[in-house]
């Protein structure tokens, strides 16, 4: 028997709330076991990833000699790969009625790909590793997000996804901190960032990557229809709805102006920051993000997802305008602090909004489409940013400010469209 339903108003929308939804073993803190396990998994995975992510564009540009257009191609291709697999894995998890196995497989693939960065000697080799790593991300993301949504009471969706984002970003803080500890003694001796420094970070990053797989495999529990809201295996596909599809379209508009954060790092370097200062800047960004994410997610449960997204996108636009007129390294540091607030306000709210807008049996497909649309738009966004900055062939670029002016404009357009998004009963 399905749990009884009631409804509440959010941003003028009627959102269904299943009062019997808490699943998969609630903990004393009030959130189910799966939320904490997935949060711990993401924490460990991000410890691993962030040891490398923030120095990878510097490794590509300064050690391997890759140009910004190539960096944009690498990041865009990697995210596109992840996006296509997110779409497929989310739908597959709905058909199977199971989320955990696909998530474990995805984390495992990323962990296995990471050691090959140690051997990379060209930007093409980095592209191959990033392709495999993002394929793992594509396999795991939609089933993992659906597992969180299936496990938690609807009244706590924002809190659950906010906590997950906080854990994920807390891992980034620790990962960057470890990178600083590894690189600081070397750079103090006057050595320039080189291949040997990067390889040392790769070795350290492998440990938490494999621990993340173990934690998820041993700790998470499947949620079935009898104890929660996961789809029955082989159940018919539920419609996603026009409001959800409209929301995804708006996210595509926003993402076309949201190029890889590698360009923010290169812009900070362009403004005078060295590698240690850049890592400190990114640590600040992730610390702010982690601190804001959980309370912002909980606030979205009360004030509504749309309001949180609008506030975050407007802040994003101001941040990108700041990067467009950047003149000094300290300004980049301050702007990245604001960028962390933007992420904290929007990431958990957006994922909770997806669960608000679609039926439970379609959550895997919905998260697959949600993540796929963002990732697919990341390829043209990152390539376009590289071209706006650098140009190509006989076509000159417009300089370092151009990608950020474009991004700010697209954020404003997306905010206007979100204000006009119809309520479900109007769609």
Q: What pLDDT is attached to residue 269?
A: 83
Q: Within a 10 A sphere around the Cβ of 407, how many other Cβ atoms? A: 28
For the stretch 230-276, pLDDT in tens is 444 444 455 778 888 999 999 999 999 888 787 888 888 888 888 78
pLDDT exceeds cutoff 60 at 14: no
Q: What pLDDT is attached to residue 15?
A: 45
- Structural domain for 337, as ranges: 23-421
- Tell me the sheet residues that pair with 91: none
pLDDT exceeds cutoff 90 at 315: yes
Distance separating alpha carbons of residues 201 and 116, to the nearest angstrom: 12
Q: What pLDDT is attached to residue 20?
A: 39
Q: Is residue 427 part of a domain?
A: no
Distance separating alpha carbons of residues 60 and 65, to the nearest angstrom: 6
What are the DSSP calls for 102-119, one per residue?
Answer: HHHHHHHHHHHHGGGGGG
Q: Is residue 9 part of a domain?
A: no
Q: Is residue 168 part of a domain?
A: yes
DSSP-derived letter for residue 106 is H
- H or E element, residue 10: strand 5-10
Confidence band, pLDDT 50/70/90 cuts, at residue 418? very high
pLDDT exceeds cutoff 60 at 290: yes
- Return the higher-pLDDT residue of 395 and 204: 204
Q: What pLDDT is attached to residue 12?
A: 43
Half-sphere CA count of 344, side-chain side, radius 13 A? 25
Cβ partners under 8 Å of residue 18, min gap 6? 2, 3, 4, 5, 153, 154, 229, 360
For the stretch 111-136, pLDDT in tens is 999 999 898 888 888 888 888 888 89
> Average pLDDT for residues 76-88, to the nearest whole number?
76
pLDDT exceeds cutoff 80 at 69: no
Q: What pLDDT is attached to residue 62?
A: 81
- Return the higher-pLDDT residue of 169 and 320: 320
Q: What pLDDT is attached to residue 70?
A: 79
Site of tokens 């959130």: 31
Q: Is residue 8 part of a domain?
A: no
| Percent share of the chain, pLDDT over 70 | 85
Q: Token pair of 184, please?
A: 């600081």
pLDDT exceeds cutoff 60 at 26: no
What are the DSSP calls for 171-239, one per residue?
Answer: HHHHHHHHHHHHHHHHHHTTPPP-HHHHHHHHHHHHHHHHHHHHHHHHH-----TTTS-PPPTTPPPPP
DSSP-derived letter for residue 152 is S
Q: What pLDDT is attached to residue 233?
A: 45
Q: Range with the lowest mean pLDDT among 74-78, 246-250, 381-385? A: 74-78
Confidence band, pLDDT 50/70/90 cuts, at residue 1? very low
Report whether 317 contacts 418 (CB < 8 A). no
pLDDT exceeds cutoff 70 at 349: yes
Report whether 133 contacts 114 (CB < 8 A). yes
Q: What pLDDT is attached to residue 27?
A: 52
Q: What pLDDT is attached to residue 388?
A: 82
Q: Is residue 18 part of a domain?
A: no
Q: Is residue 189 part of a domain?
A: yes
Q: Which of 144, 212, 160, 155 is closest to 32 using CA atoms?
A: 160
CATH number at residue 68: 1.20.1250.20
- Return the higher-pLDDT residue of 422 and 144: 144
Q: Is residue 411 part of a domain?
A: yes
Distance separating alpha carbons of residues 296 and 290, to the nearest angstrom: 10
Site of tokens 């301050």: 334
Counted domains in the chain: 1
Report whether 260 contacts 403 (CB < 8 A). no
pLDDT exceeds cutoff 90 at 163: no
> Average pLDDT for residues 43-64, to the nearest whole number?
86
Confidence band, pLDDT 50/70/90 cuts, at residue 165? confident
Q: Is residue 14 part of a domain?
A: no
- Return the higher-pLDDT residue of 57 and 14: 57
Between strands 391-392 and 395-396, the pairing is antiparallel
């Amino acid at each position: 028997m399905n749990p009884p339903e009631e409804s509440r108003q959010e941003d003028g929308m009627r959102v269904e709330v299943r009062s019997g939804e808490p699943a998969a073993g609630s903990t004393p803190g009030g959130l189910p076991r799966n939320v904490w396990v997935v949060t711990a998994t993401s924490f460990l995975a991000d410890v691993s990833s962030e040891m490398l992510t923030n120095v990878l564009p510097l490794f590509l540009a300064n050690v391997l000699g890759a140009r910004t257009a190539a960096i944009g191609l690498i990041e865009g291709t990697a995210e596109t790969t992840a996006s296509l697999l997110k779409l497929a894995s989310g739908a597959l998890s709905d058909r199977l009625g199971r989320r955990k196995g696909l998530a474990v497989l995805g984390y495992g693939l990323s962990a296995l790909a990471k050691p090959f960065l140690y051997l990379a000697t060209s930007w093409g080799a980095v592209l191959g590793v990033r392709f495999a790593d993002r394929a793992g991300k594509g396999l795991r993301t939609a089933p993992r997000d659906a597992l969180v949504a299936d496990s938690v009471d609807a009244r706590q969706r924002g809190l659950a996804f906010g906590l997950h984002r906080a854990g994920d970003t807390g891992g980034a803080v620790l990962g960057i901190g470890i990178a600083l500890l590894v690189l600081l003694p070397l750079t103090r001796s006057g050595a320039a960032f080189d291949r040997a420094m990067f390889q040392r970070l790769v070795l350290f990053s492998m440990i938490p990557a494999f621990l993340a797989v173990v934690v998820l495999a041993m700790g998470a529990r499947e949620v079935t229809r009898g104890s929660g809201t996961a789809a029955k295996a082989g159940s018919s596909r539920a419609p996603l709805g026009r409001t959800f599809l409209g929301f995804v379209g708006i996210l595509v508009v926003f993402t076309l102006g949201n190029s890889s954060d590698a360009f923010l790092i290169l812009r900070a370097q362009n403004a005078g920051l060295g590698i240690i200062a850049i890592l400190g800047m990114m640590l600040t960004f992730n610390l702010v993000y982690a601190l804001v994410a959980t309370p912002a997610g909980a606030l979205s449960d009360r004030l509504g997802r749309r309001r949180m997204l609008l506030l975050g996108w407007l802040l994003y636009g101001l941040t990108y305008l700041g990067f467009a007129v950047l003149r000094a390294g300290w300004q980049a540091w301050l702007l990245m602090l604001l960028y962390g607030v933007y992420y904290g306000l929007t990431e958990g709210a957006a994922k909770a909004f997806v669960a608000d807008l679609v039926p439970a049996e379609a959550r895997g497909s919905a998260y697959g489409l949600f993540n796929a649309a963002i990732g697919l738009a990341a390829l043209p966004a990152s390539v376009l940013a590289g071209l706006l900055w650098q140009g190509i062939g006989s076509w000159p670029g417009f300089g370092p400010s151009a990608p950020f002016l474009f991004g700010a404009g697209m954020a404003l357009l997306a905010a206007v469209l979100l204000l006009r998004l119809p309520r479900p009963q109007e769609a």
